[in-house]
Amino acid sequence: MRRILLPIFALALDLALKTWATRVTYLGKFGPLKMELHWNEGVFAGLFSSSAALINQVFLSSVSMLMILFLAILLFIYHKDKLPIFQWSLRALIVGFLSNIIDRGLYGRVVDYLRIESGPLEHWAFNLGDVLILMGMAGAFYQLFIRPAELWFNETARNRILIEKRFQLRMSLHLCLVLLAVWVGTVLVSLLLFRVWTDVLPGQETPPVQTFIWAYGAFFMLLVPPMVFYGLWLSRKLIGPVRAFENYLTKLGQGGLPGRDRQFKLRQDDSFKRLETLAKQIEERDRTATHSQKPVE
């Protein structure tokens, strides 16, 4: 449970401090740290802050979202392994990137509220999300370069990533096509909002954040039914051959399959064709065992 609650608490704390910082210019001083509001147009320590607004608000946010997706996939892959340093590093990175993305969505820039008062880093402003990103990077680099052997799969058939290469690559292509479709839909919704705001409602101010939240919320809610159907269809491609083979073994174990039913055949578009070869081997062994058990006259 703490694997979920602690990241949520860290994200909520950082967002609460940022909200507080936007309302109170000077927050106080705690040792070498000075808490004051600083609007960051770039990334950590103000990098890229002098770049164009398009880069700051679109490109950096897009890169951060891709990083979150990549980190979430890594966390899903390694969530059952005993790699606490690597797992907590991934969680810290996700929370840090997500917190700053929320800032860009709400304010168009990142809210920093911590500054070192003196020393070589006195001009750097940062927030708790930045600290989590640095901690996550340190932990990830430690795992990658100090203890890398723990990350790689053992060379067994069960632990290899590509077990059924053709099937897995085809499923990956399906997911990429779904992602492309979602991207196209998002672009169309964005263009529709822009068209409505410029043509239908000319002279209006920039649409508030709530408008985009409701629009994209409705769009993704409309995606739920087709995605559920697609998930059922995709899982059927995986479960179908396995269930057919399971039924075949069950009937074979209950007394054998007479005649033509002994032949296990998958559909033409099914994957896991090697199950047919395995079924033939089982049939041959069963036939040999049955023949050897017949009494000799």
**Cα-flanking dihedrals φ and ψ of residue 34, to 5°?**
-115, 125
Q: Residue 291: what pLDDT?
A: 63
pLDDT digits 0-9 by tens, 41-73: 766 555 555 555 555 566 677 778 888 888 988
Tokens of 256: 């054998």
Angstrom distance (rounded) from CA 108 to CA 36? 19
CB 116 within 8 A of CB 32: yes
pTM (2 d.p.):
0.63
Give the single-character DSSP code of 256.
Answer: -
pLDDT digits 0-9 by tens, 31-41: 778 888 888 87
pLDDT digits 0-9 by tens, 144-202: 888 877 777 555 444 566 667 777 788 888 888 888 888 787 777 777 777 766 665 55
Tokens of 274: 């090697």
Angstrom distance (rounded) from CA 222 to CA 184? 14
Residue 135's Cβ-count burial label (10 Å; 0-12, 13-18, 19+) is middle
Angstrom distance (rounded) from CA 213 to CA 60? 20
Burial 84-118 (b: 16+ CB within 10 A, else e): eebbbbbbbbbbbbbbbbbbbeeeebbbbbbbbee
Cα–Cα nearest to 139, from 101, 98, 91: 91
